Structure 1
Amino acid sequence: MSDFAPHLRDTLAPGRSRLLDSSHDIILSELGAVLFASLPRADQRRKGAEYLRGLLGAQGRKSVRNIARLIGGQATEQNLHHFISSSTWDWDPVRAALAHYLRAVAPPQAWVVQQTVIPKAGEHSVGVDRQFISSVGQVLNAQQAVGVWSASADVSMPVNWRLHLSRAWLDDVPRRSQASIPASVTSRTLEDCAVEAVTELTADWRLPTLPVVMDVRELDGAKAVNLLRAAGLPFVLRIASTLLLRPAEGGAGPGASGSEVMPAHRIAGAWSDRRRVVAWHDPDREGGPATALVGAVRVRAAGDPVARGGAAQRLARGGGLLLLGTGTPGRRWPQELWLTDLPDLPPAQLFRLSQLIGRVERDFEEIADRTGVRDYAGRSFNGWHRHVTLASAAHAVAALAHTDGRTLRRVS
C-alpha cells in the first residue's frame, strides 16, 4: 500500500486535486493500509484501492463504468463489477477498520443517525419501492437507508449502514434470490435498523458508547426511545411536537397535574421562563458565534408508571428524561424539541450535541453525494453494502483533507 497515495493523486480529475496536500497523503497511506487488511487476497486489496481511487477521482456519477473509465478499460469494468457485486469479501471488517481509524484521528462526540433517501428510476435496484417520503412530502421510487456517522463539531463521516427492506422484497422469493438477500435479513423497521447499526459499533466493534443523536420526528418516537433504552445507548432525539410525555412532578406548569400525559410542545411552552441564552458556533454564519434559547424540563415517557416516594427517586436516578426546547431569540418558542436520557448534562452541552445533525446534513450534501454514496446502480444486496462501505471511506478521505489536518490527532 505504500504507493497508494501518490497513485491516487496522479489520477484525480483536475478539479479535485486541490483536496490533496501533505496531510491528505498521510490519510491515504494510513487508511489505505488499515482499510483493506481484512481482505484475504492481494488482488482484492488492489481492486479495493482502485475503487476508492475512482470514487474520489471519477467525473460525474460514481458508477462502475465511470470508475473503470478513469483507471482503465473494459476488462477493468468487468473486474470491478465482480469485485463489488459478486465477490466474497466481507464489508463488516472494512467498516470496523474505518470506524476505528476515524475514532483515532478525529474522535467523535456522538454517533449521529441519518435516514438517507436514494431515488431510483427503475424497480430492480435492491430495496427500491414506491413510497411516501415524509421528508420531501411526496411519493418517490426510492431506496431508504440508515447511516451512522462519526460526528464532531469539526467533521462527520459515515461508518455503518443498514438498507431498509420492505415485506414486498423479503417475502418475494424470486426477487429476494435475484438480489442475493441473505436469509439472516428479516423484517425491520427504520427504528430497528438505526439501533442495530449503532449497537454493532459498540458491542461488536468495541467502539465507545457515545450519545446517539437522531431525528425521529417522522418515526415512532416512543419506539425509538424504548429500543435505545433497552440497548443501553444514551440519546439526544429530535422529536415531534405531538409526542406524548408525562411531566415530572411539578413540571407540568400552572394548573396541570403531574400525572397528566400531554404533547411535548405543551410541556415546553409552559416553561418558557426557563429559557437561557447559549452561544455556539454555526459554520454557516459569518461574524462570530450565534445565539440560541434553550430551556429544559424533566419528563417521563408516556408509558412509564407514575412513581411516588422512593420509586420516584429511583426513576429520577435511573430512568429520568429531559425535554429540551430550543429556538432563536425573537422567534416562536420552541422551534425544536429534543428528548434525552442525559438529564445531568448542562442544557448548553445538550444543545451543542443536537447541532451535530446539521453538521452531518452539510457534510452529506457537500462530500458524501460527491463521493458516490447514493450512486450504486446494481441489483445485489451485497453489492450495495460493499459500494456504500467504500464510498464512506472516500468520504472520510475527502472530509479529513478538507479540515486541513485540524482534526487529525492520534488517540489510544
Structure 2
Amino acid sequence: MSVVALSPDQAQSPTRHELSYAPPCNVSLPEMCSRLFASLPRSDQRRKGMDYIRGLLEVRGRKSIRNIAALVGGQATEQSLHHFISDSSWEWGPVRRALAWYTVSVVPPQAWVVRPMVIPKAGRHSVGVERRFFPEHGQMLNAQQAVGVWAVGEEASVPVNWRLQLSPAWLAEDRRRRASIPDDASAETLGECSLRAYLETAAWRLPSRPLVMDARGGDITSTVSQLLDRGTQMMLRVDDSLRLSVRDPALKGFDTTPRPVHQIMSASRGLQRPVVWPGDGAVRCSGLVTAVRVALPAAAGRRAGRGDGDLLLLGLGNNDRRRPREVWLTDLTSVPPAFLMRLRGMLSRVDQDLAHGADQVGIRDFAGRSYRGWHRHVTLASAAHVLAALGDADDAELGYAS
C-alpha cells in the first residue's frame, strides 16, 4: 500500500483509498533541458545551464563553480559559469516553474511536502546567513535557512521550489545592495517562509494534492485559515499549546471554549486506538493514534469562511500509552488514520532524499554571496536531483540542440 492523492470527493468517501500510480518515464539531460530552458532566449545560456547541471551530476566532491568548470571546460569556462549563475540576467522563476511541471510528469505526486533546509556556513557574508539556535540540531549554528517544496511520489521525492528565509538585518540598505536582494523581498519567520513557499508553488496550478508540513513554532491558526481559504487539503504537525475548540461528541463535558491541545489529548486517552500503516518498502509501522474532531477558534474560522467546518486532531504515541509524542491537525476528516499516518511519514521520506539525493548533487554547495546566485544554483541542483533520482545521468550527452 502507498498513498493516493485525494480529490475533495475522494476525501469524503471511506471506500476510495486505493492507490493509483503511473511509473515514471525515463528522463535524460537533453530532454529535460529542452523544457527547462525554453524561457531563455539565448542558446549560449541554454548550453551553460546544461553544462552546470551536468557538472552537478558528475563532479566528485564539492559542486563548486570551479570544480564544475574543470569538468566541462577550464578557466575561461569558470568565469563564464560564474557570470551565468551570479550576474546574468536570466530569470530563475520561469525555469523553476518549468521544472515543477516537468517533475509532475515523471514523478506523479501523492503529496506536497514543505521542509526546511539548514545550510551551515563558515562566514557571515552569504545571503541570509545568521547565527541562531536550530532545535532539530540542538545547537547554535552559523547558517542559512531555506524552505523547499517537494513533490513526493511512489518512487521518489524531488524539490520543485525554494524560498530563502531572510531576517530584518538582511534588509538593511547596505546588505540588501551587496547581496542583490530584490526590493520585494521581506523579512519572514520560518512559518511565514514555509507558507509563502507553498502558496507560491500552488499558484503554478500544479496538481492538487494534500500538503504535509511541520507547522510548529508558527502562527498555526493563520496558516490553517489561509489554507482553508484556498481549499488546500492539509496534514500539519502542530504545537501542543495550540488552542482549539472540541467538536467531538465522544468527549463529554467540553463546551466550545478553545483549549490547548495537550489538555484535549489528556482528556482523550480513552479514544486511543492501535494503528498499523505501511512504511518504506516492506516495513510496517505501528502506534497508538488518538483522533478528536476539533475546530479553529470561532473568530479565525469565520475569517477563513469555514467556521462550521470540523478538523481532525491526531495524537501519535507509543504502545506504552504515554502522552502523544506528536500532534497533527488535518482537514481530511473522513479518511482512515492509517492513511494519515502514511502522509505523516512523507516528512521522513523527504529528509532521506535530501541527505542521499539532493545533497549528492550539491543543493547546499553554493559558495557565492548573492541572492540571485543562490536561487539559480538551487534551481539547477533541483533539476540535477530529478535526473539523479530517475534518469540515466551516465548516458547524458553534453550537446544541446539550440
- Normalized against structure 2, the TM-score is what? 0.84
Q: Deviations over 1:366-398 (max 9, x none)?
A: 111111111111111110000000011111111
Work out whether residues 27 and 390 of structure 2, in 8 Å CA contact, stay in contact via their aligned partners in 1: no
Q: Distance in 2 between the 1:328 and 1:290 partners?
A: 11
**How far did 1:92 drift?**
1.1
Work out whether residues 192 and 218 of structure 2, in 8 Å CA contact, stay in contact via their aligned partners in 1: no
Distance 1:290 1:305, change over 3 A: closer
Q: Is residue 257 of structure 1 aligned with residue 254 of structure 2? A: yes
State the Cα RMSD in Å: 2.3
Find the counterpart in structure 2 of residue 219 from structure 1: 218
Q: Distance in 1 between the 2:221 and 2:314 partners?
A: 16
Work out whether residues 26 and 390 of structure 2, in 8 Å CA contact, stay in contact via their aligned partners in 1: no
Letter in 1 for 2:390: L
Find the counterpart in structure 2 of residue 365 from structure 1: 355
Work out whether residues 152 and 356 of structure 1, in 8 Å CA contact, stay in contact via their aligned partners in 2: no
Distance 1:249 1:338, change over 3 A: closer
Find the counterpart in structure 1 of residue 89 from structure 2: 88
Find the counterpart in structure 2 of residue 37 from structure 1: 38
Q: Deviations over 1:257-299 (max 9, x none)?
A: 222332213323332333344333222x7x6533333331111
**How far did 1:138 drift?**
2.2
Q: Is residue 131 of structure 1 aligned with residue 132 of structure 2? A: yes
Task: Structure 1: give runs of 5+ residues left out of the alignment.
Answer: 1-22, 308-313, 403-412
Work out whether residues 236 and 330 of structure 2, in 8 Å CA contact, stay in contact via their aligned partners in 1: yes
Q: How does 1:5-24 map to 2 (within 5 A)?
A: none
Q: Is residue 350 of structure 1 aligned with residue 345 of structure 2? A: no
Q: Distance in 1 between the 2:327 and 2:131 partners?
A: 30
Find the counterpart in structure 2 of residue 26 from structure 1: 27
Q: Is residue 179 of structure 1 aligned with residue 163 of structure 2? A: no
**How far did 1:102 drift?**
1.5
Work out whether residues 150 and 350 of structure 2, in 8 Å CA contact, stay in contact via their aligned partners in 1: yes
Letter in 2 for 1:218: G
Letter in 1 for 2:58: G
**How far did 1:156 drift?**
0.6
Q: Distance in 1 between the 2:300 and 2:199 partners?
A: 27
Q: Distance in 1 between the 2:124 and 2:257 partners?
A: 48
Find the counterpart in structure 2 of residue 141 from structure 1: 142
Q: Is residue 188 of structure 1 aligned with residue 185 of structure 2? A: no
Q: How many residues align?
A: 366
Task: Structure 2: give runs of 5+ residues left out of the alignment.
Answer: 1-23, 393-402
SS of residue matched to 2:224: helix
Q: Deviations over 1:119-152 (max 9, x none)?
A: 1111110111122222223222111111100013
Distance 1:305 1:214, change over 3 A: closer
SS of residue matched to 1:294: strand
Find the counterpart in structure 2 of residue 200 from structure 1: 200
Q: How does 1:42-57 map to 2 (within 5 A)?
A: 42-57=43-58
**How far did 1:25 drift?**
6.4
Q: Deviations over 1:175-214 (max 9, x none)?
A: 11111111111233322222222222222x2212221110
Q: Distance in 1 between the 2:224 and 2:148 partners?
A: 18
Q: Is residue 400 of structure 1 aligned with residue 390 of structure 2? A: yes
SS of residue matched to 1:61: coil
Find the counterpart in structure 1 of residue 21 from structure 2: none
Q: Is residue 378 of structure 1 aligned with residue 368 of structure 2? A: yes
Q: Distance in 2 between the 1:27 and 1:271 partners?
A: 52
Work out whether residues 249 and 259 of structure 1, in 8 Å CA contact, stay in contact via their aligned partners in 2: no
**How far did 1:56 drift?**
0.8
Find the counterpart in structure 2 of residue 121 from structure 1: 122
**How far did 1:342 drift?**
2.1
Distance 1:78 1:24, change over 3 A: farther
Match of 2:268 among 245, 268, 271: 271
Find the counterpart in structure 1 of residue 100 from structure 2: 99
Between the aligned residues of both structures, percent identity stands at: 52
- Normalized against structure 1, the TM-score is what? 0.82
Find the counterpart in structure 2 of residue 19 from structure 1: none
Letter in 2 for 1:81: H
